[in-house]
Chain A
Amino acid sequence: MEQVIMNKLGYPILSTLIFLPVVGALLLIFINRSRELWIKWIALIFSTATFILSLPLFTHFDKTTYKMQFVERYEWIPAWNINYYLGIDGISVLLVLLTTLSSILCILISWNAIKIKIKEFYISILLTCGAIGGVFCSLDFFLFYIFWEAMLIPMYLIIGVWGGPNRIYATMKFILYTLIGSVLMLVGIIYLYLYAGNTFDILELMQKSYPYQVQFWLFWAFFSAFAVKVPMFPVHTWLPDAHTEAPTAGSVILAAILIKMGAYGFLRFSLPLFPEASKAMVPFIFVLSVIAIIYAGLVCLVQKDLKRLIAYSSVSHMGFVTLGIFALNSQGVEGGILQMINHGVVTGALFLCVGVIYERTHSRQIADYGGLATPMPVYATFFMVFTLAAVGFPGTNGFIGEFLIILGGFTANKWAGVLAATGVIIGAAYMLWLYQKVFFMKVNPKVINIPDMDAREIITLTPLVILVLWIGIYPVPFLDFMHPTVQHLLERVNAGGIQETTIAKTIMEVVK
C-alpha cells in the first residue's frame, strides 16, 4: 500500500498552500475596515507568500514516478475512517501552481476595481483560492468534498456582491447548478465508501475493481458534478452568466481554476475508478464535447458582450479538454491536461485584459470600443499575444494543447478529430474578429483618451505572457510532469497496454 512518497521538504508544503490563504483571511477579519491599503497589502503578501512557498512543487517534483508526492497524512475522524490526506501527482501539480499564481493576479487586478466591502472581497478571494488548492491536493474523498463545496461559499459572494448588473441571477444560477451536481456526487461518494468497505481513501479505492453495474451508476453520479463544473454541453448555461456578471477577479478564478475542477475530477476519479464505464461512455462524451466545441464557437460569433464572448469560448475550449481526456490515449490525455493549464492561463489573461479596460470605461460592449490600439499600444500587444494563444497559433501554448488533443481525438475516432479541428477554425474567426473590432478600425471617440496600462497591470499580465510563450515554444518541462502519471492512468483504464500508434509517436517527437 506504500505507493506514496511522503513530503520531505522542511515544511508541510501542501497544507501551507491551502491554509496560508485561510490564515490570511482570518487575519483580515481583525483589521479595521477603514484601513483599505493594509487590507490589500496583507492579502497580496499572503497570496505571494503562498505562491513562493508552493514553488518547490515545481523544482522538487520527482518526474520519474506516477506516485503521489509531498504526501501528508494524519488521522482526522476515526469513527468514519477519514484521514487528512494530501498529495499530488502529475495530474494535479500544474493545477496547484496555477491556483497559487492566480490568487496573486486576482488580488492585483482588483486593487482599484473593487470599491465596496473591500475587506470581505479579499477574504473571499483568499478563501476561494485556498479551498480550490485543497480540491487539487485531497486524497481523501471526504476532505475533497469539503473543499469542493466550501469553495462555493466565497464564490457565491464574489459573483453576487461585486458583480455586474445581473449578478444576483448569475450567482444563484451558478450555485444551484453546481450544488445539484455536487450532491449527486455526494451520494456516489457515500455509496462508494460503503461498497469498498468504509474507506474514503482515494488511493485505496483505486486498488479495487467494481462490477460494471456499480461503475455505471457511480460514473453518472460523478459525471453530474464534473459535467456541470467543466461545464459540458448542455449544462453549460450557468457559465456565460457567471463569467459575464462576475467581477474581473471572479471571472479569472472561474476561468483559470474553478472550471478545471471538473476536468480534474474526470481524470482523478472517473477514469481510474470506473474504467469500464468510462470506456463505454466515450462515444457519448465525444458527441457532447464536439457539440460544445462547435456550438459554443458559433455562439461566440454573435456575441456583443466582450466577457460573454470569452465565456462561450471557454465552453468551446473545455470541449477540447474533455475530448482529449476521453480519447484515452497519451496524446489526448496529456493534451487535455496541458490544455487545462493553457486555458487557465489564456482565458484568465483575457478576462484580466477585459478587466483592464472595463475599469476605465465601465462597458463590456464590443461596440463601445474600436481603434483601441491607438490610445493603448502596450495593451494591444498584450491582448494580441493572448488572442493568438486562444486561437492556437503555433508558438503559443494553445497550439501545443489543441494539437495534442486533436491528434489524440483523431487516433481514437477520426470524425471527432476532424470536427474538433473545425472548432479551431471557428475559434480563429471569432477571436480575430473580436480583435479587429476592438483594436483596429476607426478609433471610437469614447475611448480616444483613455490611458494605457500602468505598471501594476503590466506586472499582473507579464507572468502570463511568459507562460504562453514558454509552453508554446518549449513545452517539454511541462509535459514531463505528466508522462509517468498519464501512462499509469492509461494502463489502468485500458488494462491491456496503451494504444500508441507509431505515427503519433513520431509526430510527438516533432512537436518536442
Chain B
Amino acid sequence: MNFQLPDIGPVIPELVMTGLALILLTAELFIKNKKVLAFASSVGVGGVAFTLIGASGTTFGGMFISDGYSTFFKLIFFINAILSILISVKYIAIEKVNFGEYYSLILFSTLGMMIMASAADLIVLYLGLELMALSTYILAGFIRYDVRSNEAALKYLLLGAFSSAFLLYGISMVYGLTGTTDLKAIAQFITTHGLTANHSLLLSMLLIAIAFGFKIAAVPFHMWAPDVYEGAPTSITAFMSVGPKAAGFAALGRVFMIAFGSMQFEWTAILIPLSILSMAVGNIVAIAQTNIKRMLAYSSIAHAGYVLLGVIVANNEGLAGMMTYLMIYAFMNIGAFAVVIMLRTEGFKGEDIKDYEGLAKTHPLLAAIMLIFMFSLAGIPPTAGFIGKLYVFMNAIDAGYTWLVIVAVIFSVISAYFYLRIVMYMYMREPKVEVSISTSPSMNLALIVTTVAVLAIGVFPSIVVDLAKAAISGF
C-alpha cells in the first residue's frame, strides 16, 4: 500500500486555526479571566492571517484549493471574527454569559467559513458549511436564560437543517448525473455530454441555489433572519450578518462560476428574481421596524440583493465587485452593530430605535460615528458603502443589466429613508430617557477601526479594489 501524505501547504491557515480553537477551548478550563481569551483569540486570528501569505495551491486530490479568491474571503472572515470578538468582550459580561467557549465557537465557525471558501469539491463545501452553521447555532442561543435567544437558536437550527437538506439533495443529484463532486470535473462532464439543458441538472442547480439562498438570507429564503438576528446576542448578530453571508457568497460564486459555468443563462435567471426580491422586501419591510436589530436584519437581506448583482454579472469583474462589497459591508455593518451594543447596559436593552432619540445630545461622538455608518449603509459618498455599490453597479451595467441597476438604485433610495431615520432620531429629537453607554478599550478599538476603514475606503477605494482585482486575477 502506497500511502502518501498530502501536501499540507495550502491548508496551513486552516490547520493553525483548528489548533488555535482547540487550544483556547482547553485553556478556557484554567483561565478565570475571560478577557485573556478574547485577547488571545483576536491576536491569534491576526496571526493566522499571516499564514495566508504562504498558502497557495491545490491539495487533497483537488478537493481543497487555496487561491486569491479564497484568500480574500478568508481576510473578510478574519476581519469579521476579530471585530466580533472585540465588540463582545464587555457585552457578554453584561449579558452574564461570559463563557470561554464563546470565543472558540467563533473560531470554529470562522474555520468552517474558510473551508467553504476554499472548497473545490461539493463534499468539502458541505463539511465547511456544517461546521460554520453548527457553531453559529450554538452562538445564537448563547444567552441560555433568554427565551428570545433560545428561539433564535432553534429557528436557525431548524431552517439551517432544512437548507442543508436542500444542499445535500442537490449535491446528490449532481453526483448522480455526473458521477463526481469535483467542481471542475462537473463542469467538464456537463460540457462534454451536453447536459446544459438537462432538466434534472437544472433542478439540482435550483436546489443548490435555494440552499445558498438560505445562507445569504436572500428573499424568499430569508424568513429566519429577522427573528434570529433579533434574538441572538447582538455581537453574534453582527458576526453572522457578515461571516456566514460572505461564506455563502464565496461558495455560491465558486460553485456557479466553475461547476455550472456553462449554464450561466439558467442560473442568472434564478438569481435575478432573488436579487430583486431581496432588495424589495429587505428595504421596504425595514421601514416598518421599530427594533434596530430587526431593522439591520432586513437591511442585511437587502444588501444580499445588491451583492447578488455581482454574481449575476457572471464574470471575474463581477466577482471582484462582490468581494469588494462584502469586505466593505463587514466594516460598516459590524460598526453599526458595535454602536447598538454600546447602548446595551445593565438593565437597559437599547434595541428600540426610540432609544436613539437625542443621542447626539447625550453622546455626540457616538452619534456622529453612527451617522457615518448609516450613511455608508445607505450608500452615500464619501463613505465606503458608496464604493461597494458603485463597483457592483459598474459591472452590472457593463454586462448589460442597466435595467437591473435602475431597480437597485431606486431601492437604495428607499433604504436611505430608514437609515436616515436613525440619524433623524439621534440628531433631531430630544432625549426622552437617560441613555448611558458601555465603553471598553476593545470596543473603542473596534469603533476606531471600522470608522477609519469606512471613511478611508470611501476616499481611497484603491485599497480594497486593487486587492480584490488582484485576488480574482487567477480565478
Interface residues of A (CB under 8 A from B): 33, 76-80, 117, 119-120, 145-146, 149-150, 152-153, 156-157, 160-161, 167-168, 171-172, 175-176, 179-180, 183-184, 186-187, 190-191, 193-194
| A residues less than 8 Å from B402 (CB atoms) | 187, 191
B90 interfacial contact with A, CB 8 Å = no
Further contacts, 9 of them, CB under 8 A, given A161-B427, A175-B416, A180-B410: A77-B465, A79-B465, A120-B427, A153-B380, A160-B428, A161-B428, A179-B380, A180-B413, A186-B393
- Give the distance in Å from the alpha carbon of A167 to the alpha carbon of B428 in the complex: 9
In the complex, the chain A residue whose C-beta lies closest to that of B372 is: A153
Q: Which residues of the other chain, B, contact A183 by a CB distance below 8 angstroms?
A: 409-410, 412-413
Residues of A within 8 A of B364 (CB): 33, 117, 119-120
Is B386 within 8 A of A187, CB to CB? no
Q: Is the CB of A172 within 8 A of B397?
A: no
B441 interface contact, C-beta 8 A: no
B409 and A184 form a contact (CB under 8 A): yes
Partner of B423 from the list A80, A156, A191 (CB cut-off 8 Å) is A156
Q: Flag whether B361 is at the interface (Cβ < 8 A).
A: yes
Q: B427 — which chain A residues lie within 8 A by C-beta?
A: 117, 120, 157, 160-161
Count of chain A to chain B residue pairs whose CB atoms are closer than 8 Å in the complex: 90
Q: Which of A33, A175, A184, A190 contacts B390 (CB 8 A)?
A: A190
Q: Which residues of B contact A153 (CB under 8 A)?
A: 371, 375, 380
Closest 6 CB pairs of A and B: A183-B409, A146-B381, A160-B428, A179-B413, A149-B381, A180-B413
Give the residues in chain A near B386, CB-CB below 8 Å.
146, 149
Tell me the minimal C-beta distance from A287 to chain B in angstroms: 26
Interchain nearest-CB distance for A172 vs B (Å): 7
Q: Kindly provide the distance from the CB of B25 to the nearest chain A CB, expressed in whole angstroms.
A: 42
Residues of A within 8 A of B412 (CB): 183
Q: Which of A146, A176, A187 contacts B405 (CB 8 A)?
A: A187
Cβ of B33 within 8 Å of any chain A Cβ, yes or no, is no
Number of B residues near A (Cβ < 8 Å) is: 34
Judging by beta carbons under 8 Å apart, are B465 and A190 in contact?
Answer: no
Residue of B nearest to A181 (CB): B413
Q: A78-B462, A79-B469, A168-B424 are in contact. Are A187 and B380 (CB under 8 A)?
A: no
Chain B residues proximal to chain A, CB less than 8 Å: 360-361, 364, 371, 375, 380-382, 386, 390, 393-394, 397-398, 402, 405-406, 409-410, 412-413, 416-417, 420, 423-424, 427-428, 460-462, 465-466, 469
Residues A120 and B360 in contact, CB atoms below 8 Å apart: yes
Provide the residues of chain A in CB contact with B417, threshold 8 Å. 172, 176
- Whether A77 lies near B428 (C-beta < 8 A) is no
**Contact sample, A vs B, 10 pairs, CB 8 Å cutoff:** A76-B462, A77-B465, A78-B462, A79-B466, A160-B424, A172-B424, A184-B409, A186-B390, A187-B409, A194-B398
Residue from B375, B382, B409, B465 within 8 A of A186 (CB atoms): B409
Q: Are B465 and A179 in contact, with the CB atoms below 8 A? A: no
How far apart are the CA atoms of A172 and B360 in the complex, in Å?
18
Within 8 Å CB of A145, what residues of B? 381
* CB within 8 Å for A190 and B462 given contacts A161-B428, A172-B424, A180-B413: no
A221 to chain B, nearest CB (A): 9
Residues from chain A with Cβ under 8 Å of B393 in the complex:
186-187, 190
- Nearest chain A CB to B416 CB, angstrom units: 6
Contacts of A79 in B (CB 8 A): 462, 465-466, 469
Partner of A194, one of B381, B390, B397, B466: B397
In angstroms, Cα B427 to Cα A186, docked, is 28
